[in-house]
Amino acid sequence: LPRPRESCSWHRKLLRPSQQPLPYVEEGRRRRRWKRRRRRRRRQRRSWRRRRMRRRVRWSWSWRRRWMWRRRRRRRRKRRRRRRRRRRWRWRRRRKKTTTTTNTEEERRRRRRRRRRRRRRRRRRRSKKRRKYQE
């Protein structure tokens, strides 16, 4: 990596500590701190979301029209939820309860084999034109 200039704090943040350049210190000068003290900004009371909503609203003399416009915008941003398919319950024959046994490794393996699902192979259709010119 190229050594960044000493004054450039941007690089210092990006580099790993082992790669950070050592600060150049003249004799008798105090060593420069890596970390600067951050000045605290006064938090604004309004949240940025509210401000953004406010900016989005088209202005009009009638408050109702303004409000309707806001509602319309909000409706447009609706998040799509994934629908979970609910399985319909069907009557099915109950299996006869077997006597309880310890879960042997073999038994478990058998159960796992049953669970595996088969994959369907899709046949790719070639167009007639393609077949014709292939020869």
pLDDT tens by residue, 56-87? 667 788 888 878 877 665 555 567 777 777 77
User: Residue holding tokens 């500590």?
Assistant: 17
Whether 96 is covered by a domain: the verdict is no
Alpha helices in the chain (DSSP H): 9-14, 48-56, 63-76, 105-115, 128-134
Whether 24 is covered by a domain: the verdict is no
pLDDT tens by residue, 9-58? 655 556 677 777 777 666 665 655 566 666 776 666 667 777 776 666 67
Number of H helices, E strands in the chain: 5, 0
Q: Specify the pLDDT at position 77.
A: 58
- pTM of the shown model: 0.15
User: Residue holding tokens 């979970």?
Assistant: 84
Whether 6 is covered by a domain: the verdict is no
Whether 60 is covered by a domain: the verdict is yes
User: Has residue 97 got a pLDDT over 60?
Assistant: yes
Whether 52 is covered by a domain: the verdict is yes
> In the chain, how many domains are there?
1
Chain-centre distance for alpha carbon 74: 22
Whether 51 is covered by a domain: the verdict is yes
Whether 16 is covered by a domain: the verdict is no
User: Residue holding tokens 């003290």?
Assistant: 37
Q: Specify the pLDDT at position 9.
A: 60
Enter the tokens of residue 116.
């595996």
Whether 88 is covered by a domain: the verdict is no
CA distance 47 to 24: 43
Contact at 8 Å (CB) between 68 and 75? no
- The domain containing residue 57 runs over which residues? 47-72
